[in-house]
Structure 1
Amino acid sequence: MRTEVSIRQHQLTVGEIEPLHYRAVADLHDDRSFLQIPSWAQVKTGWASELLAWRDGDGRVVGTTLVLFRQVPGLSRWYAYLPEGPDIDWADPWLERWLDPLLDYLERREAFAVRLGPPKALRRWQAATLRSAVAPGRRVDHVLPDVVEPVGSAIADRLRTLGWRRCGEQESAGDAQPRYLFQVPIAGRDLVAGFSKEWQRNIRKAMRSGVDVRLGAERDLPTFYELLSTTERRNGFRSGRSLAYYQRQYRVMNGEVPGQMRLYLSSWQDEVLAAHTMNVVGRRVWYQAGGSADHRREVRPSHILQWKMMADAQKLGAERYDMRGVSASLDPDDAAYGLLRWKLGTGGEVVETVGEWERPLPGPINHTLHRAMIHFRHRGRSGKVRR
């Protein structure tokens, strides 16, 4: 009898799950990203979606994921994407026990290829390690990491053995989500004491200058977006997201759970000089996007704003404050290094994730569609077919 129970519990199936049940079993493995909440499907227009659950032989939910689907024009074939998911037991040495039933389900759903992003760390570099390694032409991955995560390494090896390809390798497209994150451990920490001396000085300067920090509302999003656009022009990059995107995100995330997306504003003499967004799922917190004005930068509105956001994350019980993606460049002459340098001042660490992995589903048609998708991705990046 004991053997039969053990076998039954180890058999996993994948099927749909209702949103209320999905939320009720949230974060079974402490890995559910804000990209995996039900409302995120409403943020991503142009994609269909399903909420899926893994169940053991006794019918208990043991894993979950949000899957986004994009249809091939004119065909009943779909590309399946699990952003920063699924939330399963990635430490299980038999990952095929989890992935095989997922692939079987997606094959029945007429998916031709699948991309997923295991929410696990591969390597970590402390701020002090990277500050001492800054040099022309150098990258983060040129530096010996402070920590190599055994689970992350095992996941990468196992996925490769199972026929998955890491995105960005050989002919495959790169990651859709950032591979290098910046995270600040905040549990039980004196936040200011952990900051660099430069950050401490800038926070004191903002306080002396009378910079005020407040929680904003949806009506403040146009101000946020204007500051974000100003920052993008100043730093020479474009996120490609519109004001409508952030308005939709704010509305649907907070409609699902109040306070799930927050907007913070810092003002000087009644003028908003910086605005940042923060996402909250349970006790996990992310700084998603932010911008600041070109003028009055000497009052340091962004430093005091981040301090306030970290303090609120700490009150929510978050262990880490995730500042999202950074460049891997440690070249002081590279414009992309500027954002990393700013984040290093918090005393956190750069975390390389396992990254995103992709594979076609079995069958010649699926492999042909996958190769065609890769081909058009590359031509699109080169600009040859853009109009």
Structure 2
Amino acid sequence: MVSKMLELGEQPYTEADAEWDAFVAAHPHGSLLQTTNWARLKNRFGWTSQRVWMRRDNRLVAGAQVLFRSVALGVVKMGYVPHGPLVDWGDAEQVDVLFNQIDQAAYRRGAGMLKIEPRLWQDEMPAATWEALYRRHGCVPSPDTIQPPRTIVIDLRPSEEDILAAMKQKTRYNIRLAEKKGVTVRQGTAADLSAFNWLMQATGRRDSFGIHQPEYYRAAYEIFAPEHAALWLAEYEGRPLAGVMVFTWGESAAYLYGASSDEERQRMPAYAAQWAGIRWAKARGCTSYDLWGIPDAEEAELEAGFTDRQEGLWPVYRFKRGFGGEVRRTVGAADRVYNGLLHRLYTWRRGR
């Protein structure tokens, strides 16, 4: 078994990148967040990145794309493996060898800690099993996650009619109402990113949540589109009212960014834009559509509270639940601690 590491940057896309991305696309727990393009996006906004991998019989069998950044008042240098590492967790030797490579990369970068957030679903690996596993490999529990651990995943394998039928009646009605009320949806281009950013700012003000700077959404579109991303805009009389940016990798699609205006909300443009994103992903051959983030609560609590609660992701859940799909939760995060003091500082800062 051979293991290696590679620093990533803005270098031209290489055969090694293509091989890595094919490995990520085919891996049962692979994710957009482990792709070369995701590293390139994050590298433009304060992160650096490094990839480690292992080969067996000249074939990639495991790996991790690690992001590094200074956090917690700039004092703590942390490593972060979003939706990774990609490894056979049942192969103890493979896990140990890969973690050794990750540790070396973290040491060279001066990281005081490393956070992993594999895209393992709790219905595939119960929480107790996951905890025993990561502790066995030298990690500690972490309630702090960077990606939302709970989400809704829509199965795109049925027909469009069946996908619509699986939605809540009100959502199905709103999708059709948008068309009746004159809302049209078109696929956007780079020229529409200014309008999308304006919609994002309006949404952030209205719903009181943080958004990225305009340059971030532009970079995401430029790096991933047209092969792996599309921008969909819902308009009325030529005015953009809502938009979604959807990403694909392998057979998976993810709705990462969405926004809507304060105007003409009775025309339900957000529902029209989301349905366009779903249809596009299905037409691209994707079998699942990740709505990417809802409150981290059990389904009974979600259903009991979504009509009244307004904090955090609760308004988002009220919208997303209508599109059907299955509520799923990842196993969450675990930390590797290289410097106990710095890890405690990070935990304190995140807690605030």
Shorter-chain TM-score above 0.5? yes
- Whether 1:62 and 2:34 are equivalent positions in the alignment is no
> Is the 1:91–1:151 Cα contact (8 Å) retained in structure 2?
no
Partner of 2:119: 119
Deviation per CA, 1:7-64, whole angstroms, max 9, x where unpaired? xxxx4634339323323434342322221111222222222212222112x3321123
- 2:242 alignment counterpart: 274
| Structure 2 Cα separation of the partners of residues 250 and 63 of structure 1 | 28
Give the Cα–Cα distance (whole angstroms) in 1 for the partners of residues 350 and 121 of structure 2. Answer: 30
- After TM superposition, the runs of 4+ consecutive aligned structure 1 residues lying more than 6 A away are none
- What is the deviation of 1:150? 3.5
* Structure of greater Rg: 1
Determine the structure 1 residue equivalent to 2:186: 214
Q: Quick check: 1:166 aligned with 2:141?
A: yes
Distance in structure 2 (CA, Å) of the matches to 1:340 and 1:293 = 18
Alpha-carbon distance in 1 for matches of 2:213, 2:29: 28
8 Å Cα contact 1:166/1:358 also seen in 2: yes
Contact 1:88 1:98 in 2 (8 A): no
| TM-score, with structure 1 as normaliser | 0.77
Structure 2 length normalisation: TM-score?
0.84
Alpha-carbon separation, structure 1, partners of 2:344 and 2:80: 15
The Cα of 1:108 is off from its aligned counterpart by 5.6
Match of 1:251 in 2: 222
Q: Would you say the 8 A contact 2:125–2:331 is kept in 1?
A: no
In the TM superposition, residue 280 of structure 1 has moved relative to its aligned partner by 1.2
Aligned-partner residue type, residue 132 of structure 2: D
Counterpart of 2:184, as a letter, is D
SS in 1 for 2:25: coil
Deviation at 1:209, TM superposition (A): 1.4
2:229 match: 261
Residue identity in the other structure for 1:194: A
- Equivalent residue number for residue 270 of structure 2: 302
User: Match for 2:222: what amino acid?
Assistant: R
Aligned mate of 1:38, from 28, 36, 39: 36
Aligned to 1:334: 309
Distance 1:158 1:99 in 2: 15
Match of 2:131 in 1: 156
Residue of structure 2 equivalent to 1:358:
335
Aligned partners of 1:198, 1:308: CA distance in 2, in Å? Answer: 17
d(CA) in 2 for partners of 1:301 and 1:230? 14
How far residue 297 of structure 1 moved from its aligned partner, in angstroms, is 0.9
Deviation at 1:182, TM superposition (A): 1.7
Residue equivalent to 2:200 = 228
| Aligned equivalents of 2:26, 2:343: Cα separation in 1 | 34
Please give the secondary structure, in 2, of the residue aligned with 1:345.
helix
Matches within 5 A, 1:36-115: 36-44=34-42, 45-56=45-56, 58-70=57-69, 79-92=78-91, 96-106=95-105, 109-110=108-109, 111-115=111-115
Contact 1:285 1:313 in 2 (8 A): yes
Check 1:109–1:187 CA distance in 2 against 1; reply closer, same or farther (3 A cut): same
In structure 2, C-alpha distance between the alignment counterparts of 1:344 and 1:289, rounded to whole Å: 16
The aligned counterpart of 2:12 is none
- The alpha-carbon deviation at position 161 of structure 1 amounts to 3.0
Match of 1:25 among 23, 31, 56: 23
Give the direction of change, closer, same or farther, for the CA distance of 1:101–1:151 in structure 2 (3 Å limit): farther
Instruction: Provide the rounded CA distance (Å) in 1 between the counterparts of 2:295 and 2:58.
Output: 43
Q: Given the superposition, is the C-alpha separation of residues 154 and 379 from structure 1 closer, same or farther in structure 2, using an over 3 Å criterion?
A: closer
Structure-1 separation of matches of 2:96 and 2:137: 11
Alignment correspondent of 1:16: 6
Query: 1:118-197 residue pairs with structure 2 within 5 A?
Result: 118-122=118-122, 148-150=123-125, 154-168=129-143, 174-189=144-159, 190-197=162-169
Q: 1:13 to 1:42 in 2, by over 3 A?
A: closer
The letter of the residue matching 2:28 is D
How has the CA–CA distance of structure 1 residues 186 and 103 changed in structure 2, closer, same or farther, with 3 Å as cutoff?
same
- Aligned CA distance change for structure 1 residues 266 and 153 (closer, same or farther; 3 Å): farther
Task: State the match for 1:316 in structure 2.
Answer: 284
1:287 aligns with 2:252: no
**Cα distance in structure 1, aligned partners of 2:41 and 2:102:** 25
The aligned amino acid for 1:19 is D
Contact residue 87 and residue 94 of structure 2 kept, 8 A: no
CA distance in 2, matches of 1:72, 1:349: 34
Q: 1:360 to 1:348 in 2, by over 3 A?
A: same
Q: 1:84, 1:117 within 8 Å by CA — same for their partners in 2?
A: yes
Aligned residues: 329
What is the CA distance between 1:181 and its match in structure 2?
1.4
Could you tell me how far apart the structure 2 residues matched to 1:24 and 1:313 are?
A: 19
Structure 2 portions without partners, runs of 5+: 8-15
CA contact (8 A) 2:253 2:286 kept: yes
User: How far 1:221 sits from its partner (Å)?
Assistant: 1.1
> Match of 2:133, SS?
helix
What SS does the corresponding residue of 2:323 show, helix, strand or coil? coil
In 2: Cα distance, 1:21 partner to 1:279 partner: 20
Whole-Å Cα distance in 2 between the matches of residues 66 and 188 of structure 1?
Answer: 33
For structure 1, the residue ranges without an aligned partner over 5 or more in a row are 1-10, 123-147, 169-173, 362-366, 383-387
| Aligned equivalents of 2:106, 2:193: Cα separation in 1 | 41
Letter in 1 for 2:59: R
Mapped to 2, the partners of 1:289 and 1:12 lie a distance apart of: 38
Tell me, in whole angstroms, the C-alpha distance in 2 between the residues paired with 1:379 and 1:63: 33
